[in-house]
Chain A
Amino acid sequence: MEENLPIYKKVKAISFGKISPKLIRKMASVKIVTPELYDREGYPVDGGLMDIRMGVIDPGLKCKTCGSKLKECIGHFGYVELARPVIHISYAKLILDILRKICRDCGVVLGEKLKPEEDAKEKKVDVLDAKKASARAPKTGVKCQSCNAKQFKIIIEKPTSYFEDGKRLSPIEVRTRLERLRDDDLPKLGLNPKVFRPEWTVLTLLAIPPVTIRPSITLESGERSEDDLTHKLGDIVRINQRLFENINAGAPEIIIEDLWDLLQYHVTTFFDNAVPQLPPARHRSGQPLKTITERIKSKEGRIRHNLAGKRTNFSARTVISPDSMLDLNEVGIPKQVAMKLTVPERATKWNMDFLKKFIEKGPKEYPGANYVVRPDGRKKKISDETKEQLLEELQPGYIVERHIMDGDISIFNRQPSLHRMSMMCHKIRVLPGLTFRLNPAVCAPYNADFDGDEMNLHIPQSEEARAEAEILMMVHTQLISPRYGLSIIGCNMDAISGNYILTKHMSIPKEEAVQLLASIGVDDFKRLPDKETVTGKEVFSVILPEDFSFTGKTREGNPVKIEKGKIKEGFMDKANLGEGHGLMLRNIHKNYGAKEALDILGKIFRLGIRTLQINGLTAALSDTDLTQKGKESVEKILADAKEVVNKLIDDYHNHKLDAFPGRSVEETLELKILETLNKARNNAGKIVQETVDKSKHTSIIIDSGAKGNVISMAQMAAIVGQQALRGKRMEKGYEDRTLSCFEKNDLSPKARGFVENSFKKGLTPYEFFFMSQTGRDSLMDTALRTPKSGYLYRRLANSMQDLKVAYDKTVRDASEKIVQFKYGGDGIDVSKSEGGIVNVKKIIESTR
């Protein structure tokens, strides 16, 4: 078996060269002499561009070179003998560099000092690249050190004409000069004589690509439509023939030159149809031809589109919508999708009857099957006609491609797939409707919302793929984020506020509690205390593991204590349940495992939502009402701030304001005003926080951490605050003022974007205008930043893509080179820590 062992080799170097005319002739199987494609019978002309010696694209024909049929023959090159040489556009710059660097008469590399023979041998050959060569281009007047010939300045007239001292150098002359270069001198120009002779860049022969890479397509009307490359080649051959004829007939030099230039144009656009100085060659319809460079280049080119881009079968895509009654590791799919996507199931003597049921139902009834694969690999579509026969034929070894059903494995994905949680394995649930359904709690890892987002679903087709997806990619395996070591999936919005209300305020009759628990999927009510009314804490405790103990803190820092699966103190909020927080979730995960944690999380989530359905949660206008006292103190704060600002402005005008070190007086004033106004807004916020009714729903939403913060409350109730554009108060607009309703050089708060009203009270027109300004600015900012950060991330991900942590905790790349001596500097696996920290104290305590 030794010959089957893999052989490891390292690529040391890759060398690129230019194909030589000799090789072109050698590898070609045809010499193309006529631009005609087909004769009257529609058969390819011998010596034409569709000559069947270059491969076949018609079914039934055989290749004259290799004798194989369509698809078997990979095609063969042909060649055209150009009547006059032309410059290869890709080498135009290199040719210029070389021409400037060598003697016009003897072809020696200019500027080298003449040294005795032995010295030259010892001297290390100084390899110059083409750029360096052009930088040292000799000026007019320099003489060759070897033959003493005077040198002239050579310029290029883009794209392909060279001029020496005002006279044009024809490609023939260019070629003869390049021919004079000796092989020994080539390394000095950065060229390898084994694979690259400079004169090969001036084409005398043109290789004609095989027809297989430029197939013609037959239109419905029976007409043939040729590939762009064939069109271009036809132009080249036609002009080339005309040039030949004119030369042989001894036509005047001008006509020959014109045709020569035309040939140069056609050959250039054959290689690259986007040369800046040339008009692109077009179809009759006016659309530019896609020639060789365009085929390879850019996003739609061969590399990024065909080689790096992949497409899949057994996948589906549609809009997503929420369904909190699904498990977190489930995905709801429409029946229509379920009837298109299939799972191959191999028939054995044990599952024959099971599989026959699917075939009986066929492709139109759910759950049926679409195809049957025979052991020889032949696929048979199940239809009303073939159904009976396939049923009879089915035996062990056959494969039935049955519709996907509840419990099948799938991989669910949302682009951009920025981290590994962007693709997770979900179990199928076939549901009515036309959208993919997912539990809103798994929106966080996908970064999904339901404003029209679409997601992709893939069905693994082999046993190995399914096992791998289930073991490595199932939602519960992705619970703890490797970025910060906390649960990335948690409760959000309603689930947080619901549990907050339940565990903080509520107590309900036991009957209702049982119903509540039953509705979220709990069926064991033993742990509910035997009382007439039970508290919300007791209800919540039922879903916790019986021996779970935990101490933590709420958002505001109050203690939370859970002992033996019962909440003893505190209540639930974002700090313990939220996505990316959830220390309680983290502890459940650690002590009871991922599956249990996911199950509990799903129950907590549903419990929160269900609680709100019973209790109700809404935002009333009166929620943001301030007390009379509160109103007065806000007004006082505002008036005080205004006074301070006015004082500052007066001081400034009276030159009494002292500048901060390193700042101008104007800057100091701005800073001081900003500080004063921000302080006023913050103080108003504090007043709001103190005076507003805590039992009101808007407050509950904010306090539980479900949505919003104190500032947004203050903006609704008291003061919106200063609008800032690029870190400064508003200043742009009219000359020396923001809006024409203010006086020039007015520095007062309201003239510079301070919104002193609340959203509830309503904004003045100019306040509204300032808000629109900042709103537009932030909109622009996000719109411009998103693609930038996306590209930055892509570069990072690509550069780090195959780094791995070795067994000795070093981080190494694919060639085992060390990147870090200890992973992350501290060797901590973040996904096994609590928020990136290993709590040693806790570990010691838990082992006691």
Chain B
Amino acid sequence: MSPEELAFLALAAIAFITGLSALLVRELVHTILWIGIFFVDLSAIYFLLSAPFLGVLQLGVYAGAVTILLLFGIMVTRKRIFSREAATGIGAVPTLLSVVAFVFLLIAVTSLSSTTPTFTTYDVSALSTYLFGAGGPWVLLLSLVMLAALAGAIYLVREGRE
């Protein structure tokens, strides 16, 4: 086993365990801690795949902004921040459904094991050229999504006369 592979397996295990813990712990603030680790862990995987720009983006946007945003959401909506949620059952049908989805995907994925793709790395400048050249329309559409979100969300949370 190569060191990269070992590193990946460790990171993958951490990703799954932190993700699961984030969903199952009963204290919402602990959820935020777990999901923070989850995001940082995924960022490490992106670095491992030699996508450093994506890794930094993941740290900034997810581990930074989204985590704080979620924490902020909890702070604003609760009187006592460290109060516990009522225990929620796991439910047989949803569990079964997600296990079926996983097995289905796993079968598809393992059918690929014969292929040996070559590892490709990219220059960050090539990525930026692509984003503002051939991929420009994506960025444009993203800006429209953000405009709609901005206009609507500000209106929704603003204290207004009514």
Q: Decide whether A and B assemble into one complex.
A: no
Which residues does A use to contact B, with CB under 8 Å?
none
